[in-house]
A and B are shown apart, each in its own frame.
Chain A
Amino acid sequence: MQLEVDITGKHFENAAGERHHVLAGIKFSLPAGEVGVFVGPSGCGKSTVLKILTGLDHDYQGKVSRPATARLGMVFQEPRLLPWRSVEDNIRLAAPHIDEKRFSELFSVLELTEHRSHFPGELSLGLARRVALARAFAIEPDFLVLDEPLASLDDALAAHLREQIATLVESRVMITLLVTHNLDDAVYLGDRLFLLSARPARILQEVPIPTPRAGRSAAEINHIKADLVRRRLAKI
């Protein structure tokens, strides 16, 4: 099972009728069991790529093939929870078949157990993000998309949530795609990094990280980061 992407172009027209060229060349493949990471400047078109990959946008040139039966789970940049349903109901709506055992396991990993019956309006952003994560994992996805899941959280919280994501990602073989502009997150969580250019976005470089996630020392992470920064500068 793997994701094959070859997007050759994507344009859109804004409200003023101007035509924008958003994506130029996005070609990669990502096997199940690996975490692919899109790293790129904000506004470069990462979210547009995600919309295409998740089937929300069909208006592009090129080809995307993902396994036809793959269950899709996604964590959006904003949590996108239903404010009128409790945390539990939000998750059960997306994953009606989840059993109680798995449900409570997931909630204890994400430390959400005591928030089960709360409404999203009563949660902080960090908590709402975790609920969105729980929802994406609850459906036991074959293809998981994480769109800036750690953005606008404070450092300590982000680091904590990053570990929780790592734990969950390890627990299941699936195609995982993470979008971030944070190099720390990219190197900590990713197996294969795709460096994107500014608009119109194309993949500048594909950087595999051979060491398994659990075995990456702080020194190695720093080393990879420094290397990435150098590569990026070299490209510019």
Chain B
Amino acid sequence: MVRLLSFLLFLATWWIAALLIGDVKLPAPPAVLAVMLREAASGALFINLGVTLARVALSFTLAMALGAAIGYLMGRVKLADRIGDPWLILLLNLPALVVIVLAYIWAGLTEVAAIAAIAVNKLPTAVVTLREGARALDRSLDEMASVFAIPRGRAFRHVILPQLSPYIAAAARSGLSLVWKIVLVAEYLGRPNGVGFEIGVAFQLFDIPLLLAYSLTFAAVVLVIETVLVQPFEVRSSRWRPRAA
């Protein structure tokens, strides 16, 4: 209910702003909706969204898996931390644009280059978060698992993983928002399809209804995925904690 109100407030603000600024720079909601429906009818909207989502899914999974593994290792093994730390600082502070442009130069304007570049951008934040998680692991529970001779695999699943899951959820949450942002840049710069590409076209043609149609559909999809996938996972992974008042 509150969410609906909040959405209506957004629409109202947009509409009023459109009336004040004028149709050329900010078209009103019905105009954008019309473009959305046109693009949906032709199928272009779904194809572009699908392509973008596939890129997000691939690069996100890649970065999370690699980042979690590296972060866990760095949190547990001092030598790994020492070796990895300078790389981490470099990657953390490297602008996304540099990574994307270099990837396109070195690997060509290919799908692999785009997905790798997006993954490399997200990787360091996942590493940092998981490293903190691994450092915060409770040693006394490790000792318990070792005394009771709980096999490594079981201990990892029941003792270690539940302690890491809030960190994994945090890395997923912040990582996903990062990927949403970067994927469009990567598409804009070197892919022939996807939401980012369409926004690039709209920009060059100064077609603002088209630009808004794609941006808002994309935002809506992000919102749905966050609500349906990410938030329930966070709730699930922390359900044993006493509820905050």
**A-side interface residues toward B, CB under 8 Å?**
54-56, 71-74, 76, 78, 80, 82-85, 93-94, 119, 121, 135, 139
Contact = CB atoms under 8 A, between A and B. Distances in A.
Interchain residue pairs A-B with the least CB separation, the first 7: A84-B240, A94-B148, A84-B162, A80-B144, A74-B147, A54-B147, A93-B158
B164 to A, nearest CB: 11
A80 B140 CA distance: 7
Contacts of A82: 141, 158-159, 162
Contacts, number: 44
A121 B147 contact: no
Nearest to B148: A94
Given A85-B158, A121-B240, A121-B242, A80 B141 contact: yes
B61 to A, nearest CB: 25
A82 to B, nearest CB: 6
A72 B149 contact: yes
Nearest to B237: A84
5 contacts: A72-B149, A80-B140, A94-B148, A119-B240, A139-B148
Nearest to B161: A84
Contacts of A135: 148
B240 A76 contact: no
Contacts of A71: 149
Chain B, interface size: which category? Answer: 10 to 19
B154 interface: yes
B54 to A, nearest CB: 34
Contacts of B146: 55-56
Contact of B140 (A54, A72, A78, A83): A78
B12 to A, nearest CB: 44
Contacts of A93: 150, 154, 158
